[in-house]
């Protein structure tokens, strides 16, 4: 099954700045998914990233705030832009495994001060 | 879109007892239902899953049942151990035009008391 390397694992950022999170997969995958997990909450899908096309965003998430890149079939980045304390969350990437399930990156714990 | 409801939000059991967590989903086109265990500070880990052409699946102390007609599925953990304490999430994979997306339930905090 696919293995995902996600970085950074955590960061503390000043409000108004941006942070880019990277996910590298050890195999080629068609779709990569980006989730947000707010403190004590469930996982909410931000967007689906396909190689060669623009990401598809879920309701409540916009490209200007969460731009995504997908330059090839093994890599994707999510940027959290113009951050505020409300953006403090864990951000996770996910891919579908060969067995049909989904695996997750180790997550990025973001604190905005 | 898909909506997944999960109950209970917290569950406390004694070691050796059974634990049951239930989820309902709204989209009849959903066809894959995984369960994840998330320990504090860690990523969600898949513990068991079931597809819509199967009614029940078991893996040692863990089992999942699916009722497609009623659109609900349940996680059963028998002979619970303190290391089973974690947050458990159910999810449903969308079919149709939303294919591939996972929608998660709200989570259940399971505490197993020794």
Could you report the per-residue pLDDT of B3-18, keeping only the tens digit for each?
A: 999 999 999 999 999 9
Looking at the complex, report in whole angstroms how far the Cα of residue B10 sits from the nearest Cα belonging to chain A. 12
pLDDT in tens, A3-43: 999 999 999 999 999 999 999 999 999 899 999 999 999 99
Q: If you average pLDDT over every residue of chain A, what do you get?
A: 94
Q: Would you list which residues of chain A are within 8 Å, Cβ to Cβ, of chain B?
A: 31, 33, 41-45, 48, 59, 92, 94, 96, 100-107
Nearest residue to B22 via CA among B79, B69, B85, B67: B67
Say yes or no to pLDDT of B97 above 70.
no
Residue in A42, A102, A105 nearest the CB of B34: A102
Say yes or no to pLDDT of B101 above 90.
no
Q: How buried is residue B106: exposed, middle or buried, by Cβ count under 10 Å (0-12/13-18/19+)? A: middle
Say yes or no to pLDDT of B23 above 90.
yes
Question: Torsions phi, psi of B97, nearest 5?
Answer: -70, -15
- What is the predicted pLDDT for the residue at B98? 58
Give percent of chain A with pLDDT exceeding 70: 99
- What is the predicted pLDDT for the residue at B1? 80
Q: Is A86 helix (H, G, I), strand (E, B) or coil?
A: helix
B-interface mutation test, from A102, A103, A105, most B Cβ less than 10 A away:
A102
Q: Which residue of A has its CA nearest to B5?
A: A42
Residue in A96, A101, A104 nearest the CB of B100: A96
Structure tokens at A107: 């997550």
Structure tokens at A8: 């950074």
pLDDT in tens, B42-58: 999 999 999 988 899 99
Neighbours of B42 (CB within 10 A): 12
- What is the predicted pLDDT for the residue at A113? 97
Q: What is the mean pLDDT of residues B80-102?
A: 87
Contact A29, A46 (CB under 8 A): no
- For chain B, how many helices (H) and strands (E)? 0, 11
Q: What is the mean pLDDT of residues B64-92?
A: 97
Taking 3-state DSSP, the helix, strand and coil percentages for chain B, each rounded to the nearest 5, stand at 5, 55, 40
Do residue B49 and residue A101 have CB atoms under 8 angstroms apart? yes
């Amino acid at each position: 099954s696919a293995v995902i390397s996600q970085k950074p694992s955590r960061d503390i950022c000043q409000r108004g700045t941006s942070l880019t999170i990277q996910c590298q997969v050890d195999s080629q995958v068609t779709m990569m998914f980006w989730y947000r997990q707010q403190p004590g909450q469930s996982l909410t899908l931000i967007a689906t990233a396909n190689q060669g096309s623009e990401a598809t965003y879920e309701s409540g998430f916009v490209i200007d705030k969460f731009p995504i890149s997908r330059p090839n079939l093994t890599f994707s980045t999510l940027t959290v832009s113009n951050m505020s304390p409300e953006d403090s969350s864990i951000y996770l990437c996910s891919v579908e495994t060969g067995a049909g399930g989904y695996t997750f990156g180790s997550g990025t714990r973001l604190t905005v001060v | 879109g898909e909506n997944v409801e999960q109950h209970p939000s917290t569950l406390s059991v004694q070691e050796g007892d059974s634990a049951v967590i239930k989820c309902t989903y709204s989209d009849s086109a959903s066809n894959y239902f995984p369960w994840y265990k998330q320990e504090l500070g860690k990523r969600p880990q898949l513990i068991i899953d079931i597809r819509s052409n199967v009614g029940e699946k078991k893996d040692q102390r863990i089992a999942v049942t699916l009722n497609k007609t009623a659109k609900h599925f349940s996680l059963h953990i028998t002979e619970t151990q303190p290391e089973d304490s974690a947050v458990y999430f159910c999810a449903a994979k969308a079919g149709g035009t939303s294919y591939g997306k996972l929608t998660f339930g709200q989570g259940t905090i399971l505490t197993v008391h020794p």
